[in-house]
Structure 1
Amino acid sequence: MTNEHESARSMVLGEVEVIRVVEWHQPFMATDEMFPDVTADVWKANEDWLAPDHWEPDSGRAVLALQTWVLRSTGRTVLVDTGVGNDRDRPGMPPFHRRQGDFLGRLERAGVRPEDVDVVVNTHLHADHVGWNTRDADGAWVPTFPHAQYLIPAADDAHFGPDNASGKGLQEVDRLIYEDSVAPVHRAGQAVVWDGTHRIDAHLTLESAPGHTPGSSVLRLASGGDRAVFVGDLLHSPVQILHPDCNSRACADPRQAAASRTRILHRAADERELVVPAHLGGTGAVEVRREGGEFTLGRWAGTSR
């Protein structure tokens, strides 16, 4: 489903250029498995706009994109999340295990070489958000972006790191993800661990939005009259805008995740922020409106409706 010709698109928000680079866009998991609280009638009632970019009716699977958002702001290049990566051992994750893809080629065709990147934002430390943090160099994992600061949420670093400060159980794949995609960045001295809020520049600010993981975060963009919020995995599907109390199966703390999602959507509606999740297909970003106490979808980025 991924089309290389369509894998990079751009828009300008105030003084910030935003480029979308897609690594992968495919049907992923049955909706009743991925979103156990969303009933079948919700998908069917919205089929006319969910298919084909967000839902595959014939198989009943959610359609997801894995993508990186490139922000050119105040003369610097910022990456928001780094996808799955190549050559990774990801037991229990068939689409990601030992993957071979051309993400770095796509990034370069979008005008970004690894040495050009100044800042990497990991909204959280799941496999599909940190994979290209590193690359394999003669059997050793090294930072892919040699001159970049990597901004890592403190609560996730503590939870997924070797000390597991949260005390909650981790799977073997969590250890592998940290070892090949996060620990090498620390060893290279390129990791910046932050907590609460972190200002990147005059236009970009990170803030905590926990629940999906202990350190899940969002990136706010405010430039001129334009506003956007890059929400990571607060949303995996636009259905969660209509039903913000419904979590994905991957949310570590469902109650907290729903609270963070609702808070961010309220603010997006109030401040007319473009909502930019990590995994939406279509144009990848959408405005949110509030009608009668409920959220609705507004205009999709780059469209007239």
Structure 2
Amino acid sequence: MNERRGFVEQMTLGDVDAIRIVEWHEPFIPTADVFPEMDSGVWSDNANDLAPDHWDQARDLTVIALQSWILRSAGRTVLLDTGAGNDRERPGMAPFFHRRESDFPGLLARAGIRPDDVDIVINTHLHVDHVGWNTRNVDGQWVPTFPRATYLIPAADDAHYGPDNAAGTGLQEVDRLIYDDSVAPVHRAGLSERWDGWYRIDENLVLESAPGHTPGSCVLRLRSRSDRAVFAGDVLHSPAQILRPCCSSAFCHDPAQAADTRRRILGRAADERELLVPAHFGGAGALEVRRAGVAFALGKWAALSPFQPGRAGRRCAAAWRHRNE
């Protein structure tokens, strides 16, 4: 099945519990619209790997998940990306984001997370589907959803999408709406921290810039005991890009830079045995990457378990543990 709604899963990576919050997992838009430079044969030739969790073969639609991750690390609760939010005016983005409703707070509650429990919110970049639940509507005003959290926001994205628009180009009206209702209120509340280049959260988690998809796109690297993972944001949107890393999505600000970043992230994931966890992968949502000569290949997929309060998730399989264990 390639359509699923509202579920919570978990796994354990070293000393870090990773909880996957999935708002929806469904067919999106035609493959040629998402990946205009990708040959259609990539999909058909790899149908056994891509369908049905990543490709709706009958309708030639990409399949993606709108999801977030909760990481319990070093005594703190970290929320990675916040979906699209409710009650949002997103003209031109129907049916996926315009005035769409989901029960994201309810899913967090199922995972045992209250808004006051979140210590850190990470926005991997400032696109519509990564910042929406930064805020909520209270009596017509947008206020931070997580009032005790520090929101870590890439400085380059804030400069680009904010009112000063450092690049001076490349923005649409909807970008202003997104910034005004999902980012600016966090700044006004004094809860944000802008960062650039590299940012250590704790002994297990480090943010690194990974530009191209947006000017400030980033990845979150996890190293705990012998386990390695990279939460890769929108560096990739589909496993097809592991097979063709030169093909950027139509949503990338700088497609050439995005492709360079993708090759770097994939190469490091393969060489250092990092579990690859992109923001929108369907199916299990995370997998191993292997080198195949000068190219890359899909490795084993992660084995997540349904979330159960009080129980740890399945431990990371040895296939993506550090080679020097």
Whether TM exceeds 0.5 here: the answer is yes
1:34 equivalenced with 2:29 (yes/no): no
Q: Which residue number corresponds to residue 88 of structure 2? A: 88
2:169 aligned with 1:174: no
RMSD: 1.1
Count how many residue pairs are aligned between Structure 1 and Structure 2: 303
* Length-normalised TM-score, structure 1: 0.98
Alpha-carbon distance in 2 for matches of 1:110, 1:2: 18
| Residue matched to 2:162 | 161
Q: How many angstroms does 1:226 deviate by?
A: 0.3
Tell me by how many angstroms 1:164 deviates. 0.3
Q: Which residue of 2 aligns with 1:200?
A: 201
2:5–2:23 contact (8 Å) kept in structure 1: no
The residue type equivalent to 2:269 in the other structure is: A
Question: Counterpart in 1 of 2:301?
Answer: 300
Aligned to 1:64: 64
What corresponds to 1:8 in structure 2?
Answer: 8
> Which residue in the other structure is 2:283 paired with?
282
1: distance between equivalents of 2:204 and 2:25? 29
Q: Distance in 2 between matches of 1:264 and 1:181?
A: 28
CA distance in 1, matches of 2:54, 2:292: 23
Distance 2:42 2:171 in 1: 33
Which consecutive residues of structure 1, in runs of 5 or more, have no partner in the other structure? none
Equivalent-residue separation in structure 2 for 1:237 and 1:112 (angstroms): 29
Matched, 1:266 2:270: no
Identity %: 66
One-letter amino acid of the structure 2 residue matched with residue 62 of structure 1? T
Task: Letter of the 1:91 partner, please give it.
Answer: P
1:238 aligns with 2:243: no
Specify the code of the residue in structure 1 equivalent to 2:232. V
Q: Contact 2:270/2:290 (CA < 8 Å) preserved in 1?
A: yes
Given that 2:231 and 2:278 are in contact with CA atoms closer than 8 Å, whether structure 1 keeps it comes out as: yes
Distance 1:96 1:198 in 2: 30
1:87-125 deviation line (CA, Å, top 9, x unaligned):
000011001001111111011101111110000000000
TM-score scaled to structure 2, two decimals? 0.92
Determine if the alignment matches structure 1 residue 149 to structure 2 residue 150.
yes
**Does the residue aligned with 1:90 lie in a helix, a strand or coil?**
coil
For 2:103, the equivalent position in structure 1 comes to: 102
Q: Distance in 2 between matches of 1:166 and 1:141?
A: 27
The CA distance in 2 between the partners of 1:170 and 1:42, in whole Å, is 32
Deviation sequence 1:266-304 (CA, Å, 0-9, x none): 111110000000000001001100021210011100188
Larger relative contact order (CA 8 Å, sep ≥ 6):
2
Mark the runs of 5 or more structure 2 residues left unpaired by the alignment: 305-316, 320-325
Matched residues in 1 for 2:247 and 2:210: separation? 16
SS at match of 2:4: coil
TM-superposed deviation, 1:25: 1.2
Moved over 2 A (4+): none
Deviation at 1:169, TM superposition (A): 2.8
Distance (Å, rounded) in 1 between the aligned partners of 2:73 and 2:169? 38
